[in-house]
């Protein structure tokens, strides 16, 4: 056993960035955490120049974000690191909740087949960050370590940054600035921007423990266990024999005292047994918070991830929602930078991701209120639910040890085209796409690996399209904002100039309620824009105009 050693990234001198008057960059990202790095990688995949500034010289300390949900893994697929993350991470779908030592509730994150990725993987944040850094550098992102942004001055058409480095201070300008500098966000504080919500009066101890154990790769949550009475405990397995254990401490606990090994080790021994050898890798204390900024966009300055919103850890909604922020923001910002859309499109980033943040905060607040009830009535309700859940299935649905992260259905987005035809299923306008197994050129593949490459259309057919349908698909691909058309059929077809997806198992037709003639328009972030029972190029083009903020 041995603790993780953080890599040290080399400082690159700032001389090439120093000039009078200040240089102007098209895009600067503040923060080389998961969200900032995801934004930088997405920018490079679109061919955009990007400069990333971070005040540190290494990845994060401790596991921090642990659970990466299926939707995040699908985003990381598009960014190019999901295989690596899944190979290293611990995949799991089953979660169990215990009252004392008896199981009272169980869930399965992926109850049906036909998905490439598991419901969740556990992987320490520092490993994810290393992978993202390597990928960003591979794609040509300019990452500058030990470049601390000490001031941001917004203007109508740019923002000016003051940057402190070992070589001295300098100013630099950004046409667009993405702020992903974490929950304490120095930039947000410098600009005096509000962040509102609740801070819950409870504290939890995180312990990253290196040990060998044969526990299954599942999420285990205890209420009132004998080894930590009247409180709750959470256990997760991570890579390299690291186990994440969270102990509820109560509001009166002294954070500095509780972090001392002589306080932590007895708690772990009570849980694991005196005979099990283990090594502490990292210890921290956290407080539940559910807060967000009023507006994620301030002119040319855009906030994402924990800089914009914070939620309680139970539910894995922090990093996962941050990846979705970057996924939503960067295709819109790319169109604006390339002159293919008005900057008004970025208002929909703020609107849609603020909606998602509110949804996450609502779910996180409910979980927090159940885990740490603040009144005698709430505690009585919680305890009665747990007692009933032992024997009665109806009560198990009320057990809330953290409703786990799922992507938001952006059904209220101004970019959607509402249904005019009758459809069933979940793939409504604004929905994140469901995956499905397909075949491409005779090889097994996955639907989501074929999309997320600009705007795309799915066209379901029984036979190769001809005549006006073929002409319509060709016209879509040749527009000012091209829409790649993907043909979906139950058997292989030869359609020159188009990729054909063979829905050989029927999962696409089922999940998308599709029949011959059905068409879908898809956003670059794999959300549904609109859908129709028959292909009508005028309707698809109108939906595209709406989706890029031109209607």
What number is the average pLDDT over the span 512-533?
98
Mean pLDDT of 37-57: 98
CATH H superfamily, domain 437-547:
Glutaredoxin (3.40.30.10)
Backbone Cα Rg of the chain: 25
Mean pLDDT of 420-425: 97
When pLDDT is cut at 50, 70 and 90, the band that residue 245 belongs to is very high
The pLDDT, as a whole number, for residue 491 is: 96
User: By percentage, how much of the chain surpasses pLDDT 90?
Assistant: 77
Q: Which of 518, 544, 314 lies closest to 415 in space, CA to CA?
A: 544
pLDDT band at 315 (very low <50, low <70, confident <90, very high): low
Share of the chain above pLDDT 70, in %: 98
**Of 414, 409, 419, 294, nearest to 342 (Cα)?**
414
**What residues have CB less than 8 Å from 507, skipping those under 6 apart?**
114, 436, 437
How far, rounded to the nearest angstrom, does the alpha carbon of residue 435 sit from its chain's CA centroid? 17
Q: Is 514 helix (H, G, I), strand (E, B) or coil?
A: coil
For residues 369, 371, 376 and 382, what is the CA-based torsion angle, rounded to 10 degrees?
A: 100
> End-to-end CA distance of the chain, in Å?
59
CATH class of the region 15-89+114-193+292-366: alpha beta
Check residues 204 and 57 and name the one with the higher pLDDT: 57
Structure confidence at residue 241 (pLDDT): 92
**pLDDT at position 360:** 87
Q: Which residue has the tokens 């956003």?
A: 523
Mean pLDDT across the chain, nearest whole number?
A: 93
**Residue with more model confidence, 383 or 129:** 129
Strand partners, 287: 203
Residue of 24, 501, 38, 64 lying closest to 244 (CA atoms): 64
On the question of pLDDT at 286 being above 90, the answer is no
Q: Is a pLDDT exceeding 80 seen at residue 27?
A: yes
The pLDDT of residue 316: 66
Domain coordinates in residue numbering, the chain: 15-89+114-193+292-366, 437-547
Confidence grade of residue 290 (pLDDT, cut at 50, 70, 90): confident
For residue 374, pLDDT beyond 80: no
User: Residue 201 and residue 368: Cα distance in Å, rounded?
Assistant: 10
> Would you call 234 helix, strand, or coil by DSSP?
strand
Q: How confident is the model at residue 2 (pLDDT cuts 50, 70, 90)?
A: low
Question: For the segment 81-125, what is each residue's pLDDT rounded down to a tens digit?
Answer: 999 999 999 998 888 999 888 898 888 887 678 999 988 899 999
Q: Where are the alpha helices (DSSP H) in 207-297?
A: 255-258, 261-272
Residue 370 pLDDT: 84
């Amino acid at each position: 056993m041995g603790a993780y050693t953080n890599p040290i990234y080399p400082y690159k001198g700032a001389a090439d960035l120093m000039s009078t008057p200040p240089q102007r960059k098209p895009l600067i990202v503040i923060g080389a955490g998961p969200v900032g790095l995801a934004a930088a990688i997405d920018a490079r995949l679109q061919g955009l120049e990007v400069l990333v500034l971070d005040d540190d010289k290494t990845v994060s300390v401790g596991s921090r974000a642990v659970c990466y949900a299926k939707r995040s893994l699908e985003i990381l697929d598009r960014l190019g690191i999901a295989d690596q993350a899944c190979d290293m991470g611990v995949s799991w779908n089953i979660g169990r909740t215990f009252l004392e030592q008896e199981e009272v509730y169980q869930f399965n994150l992926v109850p049906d087949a036909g998905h490439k990725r598991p419901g969740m993987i556990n992987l320490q944040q520092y490993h994810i960050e290393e992978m993202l850094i390597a990928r960003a550098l591979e794609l040509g992102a300019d990452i500058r370590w030990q470049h601390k942004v000490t001031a941001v001055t917004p203007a109508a058409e740019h923002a000016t940054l003051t940057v402190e480095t070992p070589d001295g201070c300098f100013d630099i300008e950004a046409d667009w600035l993405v702020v992903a500098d974490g929950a304490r966000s120095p930039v947000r504080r410098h600009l005096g921007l509000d962040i509102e919500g609740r801070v819950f009066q409870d504290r939890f101890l995180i312990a990253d423990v290196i040990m060998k154990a044969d526990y299954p790769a599942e999420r285990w949550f205890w209420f009132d266990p004998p080894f930590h009475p009247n409180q709750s405990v959470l256990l997760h397995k991570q890579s390299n024999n690291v186990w994440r254990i969270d102990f509820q401490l109560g509001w009166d606990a002294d954070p500095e005292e509780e972090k001392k090994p002589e306080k932590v080790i007895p708690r772990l021994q009570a849980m694991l047994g005196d005979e099990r050898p283990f090594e502490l890798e990292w210890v921290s204390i956290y407080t539940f918070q559910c807060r967000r900024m009023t507006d994620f966009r301030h002119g040319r300055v855009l906030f994402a991830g924990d800089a914009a919103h914070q939620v309680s850890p139970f539910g894995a909604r922090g990093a996962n929602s941050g990846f979705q922020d970057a996924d939503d923001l960067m295709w819109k910002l790319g169109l604006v930078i390339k002159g293919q859309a008005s900057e008004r499109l970025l208002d929909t980033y703020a609107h849609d991701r603020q909606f998602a943040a509110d949804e996450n905060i609502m779910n996180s607040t409910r979980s927090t209120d159940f885990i740490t009830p603040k009144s005698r009535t709430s505690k009585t309700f919680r305890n009665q639910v747990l007692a009933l859940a032992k024997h009665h299935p109806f009560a198990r649905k009320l057990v809330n040890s953290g409703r786990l992260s799922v992507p938001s259905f952006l059904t209220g987005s101004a970019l959607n085209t509402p249904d005019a035809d009758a459809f069933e299923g979940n793939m409504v306008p604004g929905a994140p796409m469901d995956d499905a197994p397909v075949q491409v050129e005779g090889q097994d593949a996955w639907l989501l690996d074929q999309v997320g490459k600009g705007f795309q259309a799915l066209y379901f057919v029984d036979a190769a399209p001809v005549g006006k349908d073929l002409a319509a698909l060709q016209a879509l691909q040749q527009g000012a904002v091209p829409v790649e058309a993907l043909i979906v059929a139950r058997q292989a077809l030869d359609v020159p100039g188009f990729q054909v997806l063979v829905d050989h198992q029927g999962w696409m037709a089922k999940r998308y309620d599709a029949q011959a003639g059905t068409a879908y328009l898809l956003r670059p972030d794999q959300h549904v824009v609109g859908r129709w029972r028959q292909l009508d190029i005028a309707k698809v083009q109108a939906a595209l105009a709406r989706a890029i903020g031109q209607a």
